[in-house]
Amino acid sequence: MPTITVEGPPAPDLEKRRQLIKQVTAATVAYYGRFRPEDIVVIVREYPPECVGVGGELICDRTGPKK
């Protein structure tokens, strides 16, 4: 049973998260060709910009405040 972990910024809403999981599942089924969608586990780990650093800086400091 494949387990796929997607890490990134928070999804804008629950519907976007549903779409992500559906598309990742479909791509995994197509890639392997031997698993059913119900065999695929997708874990979404979301990290807000104030919890991730790149190049020694928090992402929220690099991109500025959201408007």
Where does the pLDDT of residue 66 fall: very low under 50, low under 70, confident under 90, or very high at 90 and above?
low
d(CA 32, CA 2): 9
Report the pLDDT value the prediction gives residue 64, as an integer from 0 to 100. Answer: 59
Give 28-64 pLDDT, tens digit per residue: 999 999 999 999 999 999 999 999 999 999 999 986 5
The confidence score (pLDDT) of residue 65 equals 57
Q: How far is the C-alpha of 13 from the C-alpha of 6, rounded, in Å?
A: 16
Report residue 4: phi and psi, to 5°. Answer: -110, 130
Q: Would you say domain 3-63 falls under CATH 3.30.429.10?
A: yes
Sorted by where each begins, the domain ranges of the chain are 3-63
d(CA 24, CA 21): 5
